[in-house]
Amino acid sequence: MEDAWTYEEAPVGETRFRALEGRPYRRTVRRCRACAHHTSDPGFDPAALYAGGYMDDTYRDGGIREAFARMAALPPERSDNAGRVRRVADFAGCSGDGPPTALDVGSGLCVFLHGLAAHGWRGTALDPDPAAAAHARETVGVEAVAGDFMEARELGRFDLVALNKVIEHVADPVAMLARAADHLAPGGVVYCEVPDAPAAAGEGAGREEFFIEHLHVFSPASLAMAAARAGLSPVRMERLHEPSGKWTIAAFLVAP
């Protein structure tokens, strides 16, 4: 690993999390010379951001419901989520009788499950922030669980486990991928989206992909290696420049 760059202050646009108030700001992003994977040590326990208050900090302007309504109303050509729903609906199907089922880990605004419902899917939202789980249940109308995915019990098995911009937030993404595999129904698939480090790095250190909450920023090679260590194999992987401007790697992963 080698140092890519060091931040002495928060880059423009990075969320000012209240859990970090009063802490000195300095962190270094490091890059693997072999696979172009990037890592960042924020100098605090990242779990402190997500158990409560993360949604409120992220969506201070107008609140969660207003942000959901705004995102859900975007025309397809301007919506990252519309592309995500289309990819999943075109690729993944049902392993048995009844509608296909999806577990959305780190469901956030729950725009993804809202979109999948229009294609006949039955969704379950899981988020460590109780506000996000309540929003999924009350606003979107799906089953919802508030808790840590790595500790949740009796979730069941699903045709799809979605990790949309999630594993870059955790210290051990391999463990989370393996946990997702444990919740697949026969023939099921893990759908994973992560920030694309090589593409974003070409535009400099101020990119959102390298903000403080992202402990890992992947390359296609490093995502494939993480999946393999978790007992999963990519059957489709693509690099995207999304309508929002984000550089993203999207992959469908299956258990051999």
Nearest to 199 by CA among 209, 190, 212, 187: 209
Q: Quick check: 185 and 95 in contact, CB under 8 A?
A: yes
What is the pLDDT, as a whole number, of residue 6?
94
Residue span of the structural domain in which 167 resides: 2-254
Q: CA quadruple 108, 109, 110, 116: dihedral positive or negative? A: negative
User: Strand 158-164 relative to strand 184-195: parallel, antiparallel, unpaired?
Assistant: parallel
What's the total number of domains in the chain? Answer: 1
Residue 201 and residue 31: Cα distance in Å, rounded? 10
What is the pLDDT, as a whole number, of residue 25?
87
CA distances in angstroms from 120 to 100, 163, 213, listed in the order given: 7, 20, 33
What is the pLDDT, as a whole number, of residue 92?
79
Report phi then psi at 36, rounded to 5: 70, 15
List per-residue pLDDT tens for the chain, 256 residues long.
899 999 999 999 998 887 777 888 889 999 999 999 999 987 777 666 665 555 555 555 558 888 999 999 999 999 999 999 999 999 975 555 689 999 999 999 999 999 999 999 999 999 998 989 999 999 999 999 999 999 998 899 999 999 999 999 999 999 999 999 999 999 999 999 999 999 999 999 999 999 999 999 999 999 999 999 999 999 999 999 999 999 999 999 999 8
Beta carbons within 8 Å of 46's beta carbon, 6+ residues apart: 169, 170, 171, 213, 215
What is the pLDDT, as a whole number, of residue 93?
59
What is the pLDDT, as a whole number, of residue 116?
96
Residue reference for tokens 């000195």: 24
What is the pLDDT, as a whole number, of residue 31?
97
- Give this prediction's pTM: 0.91
CATH number for the domain that contains residue 206? 3.40.50.150
What is the pLDDT, as a whole number, of residue 228?
98
Q: Compute the residue count for the chain.
A: 256
